[in-house]
Amino acid sequence: MAKSGFSITRGLPALKKFFEQSPKNALAGLESGAREWGERTIAVSKAGGEGYTGNIVPVDTGVLMSSGHVGEVSVSGTKMRVVIGYGGPASRYAAAVHEIPKRYRRPGSGTDYLRGPAVHMGRKVGEIVGPHVKNALEGKA
């Protein structure tokens, strides 16, 4: 009687290695994708784009705008954390400008210049992060 089926033993070491590395690779992909999301969100808060039509950061001397940054990126369990903001020497000014309505010289600038873009870009997290995870799992990262 002939045996039916197939053998996967030749590919087993590679498959085992893939599954051993997958969590580490997926985490690296999540972190790089989260960093890209943060960078793109800061970019939108500075100049608009990506379909965002709300307020962008006001510019007077440029100190506030140049202080936009992406800080810590971490992934733990089911939570992804990306610290983005404006500050440094301009942190008090950044907070005041973000919250206090005022007429600014730069067209389209005003309050919520970070919150608005973050909410808008929040709708794109999967679109931005997904390819990073896929590439990391495929060894392309």
Q: Is 7 a member of any domain?
A: no
- Domain, as residue range, for 27: 20-137
Domains: count for the chain: 1
pLDDT (tens digit, 9 = 90+) per residue, 14-63? Answer: 656 665 778 888 899 999 999 999 999 999 999 999 999 998 998 877 88
**Between 115-122 and 125-137, two packed helices, what is the crossing angle to 10 degrees?**
60
Buried b (16+ CB within 10 A) or exposed e, 32-44: bbbbbbbbbbbeb
Running DSSP on this structure, what letter comes out for residue 79?
E
Share of the chain above pLDDT 90, in %: 44
Confidence band of 89 (pLDDT split at 50, 70, 90): confident
From 30, 92, 57, 76, select the one nearest 38 (Cα to Cα). 30
Running DSSP on this structure, what letter comes out for residue 73?
E
Q: Is 13 a member of any domain?
A: no
Q: What are phi and psi of 80, to 5 degrees?
A: -120, 130
CA gap 105, 137 in Å, rounded: 47
Q: Is 99 a member of any domain?
A: yes
Average pLDDT for the chain: 84
Token code pair at residue 94? 């950044």
Token code pair at residue 52? 């965002």
Q: Is 11 a member of any domain?
A: no
Q: What is the pTM of this model?
A: 0.81
Q: Is 3 a member of any domain?
A: no
